[in-house]
Amino acid sequence: MSANAEPSTVMTEPSIIMKSDLPPLGTVFRLGSEITEEQRAFLDLWGYLHFRGVVQQDEVDRVLSELLRIEELWLSERRTKVNGVPIFFGRDVDGSRFVQRFPFTSEFSDDIRTLVRSERFEPIRKMIGDDIRVGDAEKDGVVINRYKNVPGSVYPRLGWHTDGLRDLFYGRMPQPMLNVGVHFNEVSRADGGLRLIPGSQNQGFWRMAFAKPYFVWHREDPREICVETQPGDVTIHDGRLWHRVGRSQNRGNASLRHSMYVPYLKGPYEPKTEWTRTPGYHHLGRILRAARMANPRLWPTHLRALSR
């Protein structure tokens, strides 16, 4: 999705399973005690995996309840950022301010912190590599996004992008990475949902950087597939994969969707604090969102055309 996901280094071994032996695109897997060779080969070829029912319904309900509590806290504090990372606010159906991107959620919720450390995710961590940690205080922490199709929303959808170019803002060339998402709603094609171009993680740097205009291009691609999720599903996608989040055909509260991204990290520990400076790309994003919401007519003509 995701501009909102945090990168994790991919450490999979080359698979010897032939393409013809793999299940078809759209296959939904079950997460067992380890990632199977078939699942590794599917990920290597198509750049994503989809697991059904990893998180239980009562856990889904607790996380959504915790979001409401965290939102109320942040609004009462008039907080605008956490550890230097901006909180994304939109306007709800009634015009009230509401949070649409929650960074560092596990630092404000024991329930979320416990969930992302559950042993059920151990097969994914092992696939990524040894000495992996959950980066609660690093990058943007455990991020939860809220998508809602209302006029004042900053997240009714999310345009085409890869997550690989984020490395450039950290002074390094894009590296192989995985983005691990937990989904909290039933999402069909009509509800928007994650769209991705299978196999596009194998493109070169030039196509990763310039094949589509980042974030402002929302048009369907003939190669794309829609990942339709149930509450508690988990997805993994390669950060170099082209992907977007579609707009729900519903409006108002019926269009509300949530997804969580967990940063699995290795290497030097690089925590952020309340004194950490805001990364430059977040400043740029804030300016663009504010300009678009203040007066869409001021949005450059060619960008309005691309986003139709």
Q: What is the CATH number of the domain that holds 191?
A: 2.60.120.620
Give me the pLDDT at residue 27, please: 97
Instruction: Summarize pLDDT for 76-118 with one digit per residue, the tens.
Output: 999 999 999 999 999 999 999 999 999 999 999 999 999 999 9
Give me the pLDDT at residue 305, please: 40
Instruction: Summarize pLDDT for 123-153 with one digit per residue, the tens.
Output: 999 888 888 889 999 989 999 999 999 999 9
pLDDT averaged over the chain? 85
Quick one: pLDDT band at residue 51, thresholds 50, 70, 90?
Answer: very high
> Can you give the chain as a three-state secondary structure string?
CHHHCCCCCCCCCCCCCCHHHCCCCCCCECCCCCCCHHHHHHHHHHCEEEECCCCCHHHHHHHHHHHHHHHHHHHHHCCCEECCEECEEEECCCCCEEEEEECCHHHCCHHHHHHHCCHHHHHHHHHHCCCCEECCCECCCCEEEEECCCCCCCCCCEEEECCCCHHHHCCCCCCCCEEEEEECCCECHHHCEEEECCCHHHCCHHHHHHCCCCCCCCCCCCCCEEECECCCCEEEEECCCCEEEECCCCCHHHHCEEEEEECEECCCCCECCCCCCCCHHHHHHHHHHHHHHHCHHHCCHHHHHHCC
Number of independent structural domains in the chain = 1
Domain residue limits at 227: 2-306
Give me the pLDDT at residue 301, please: 43
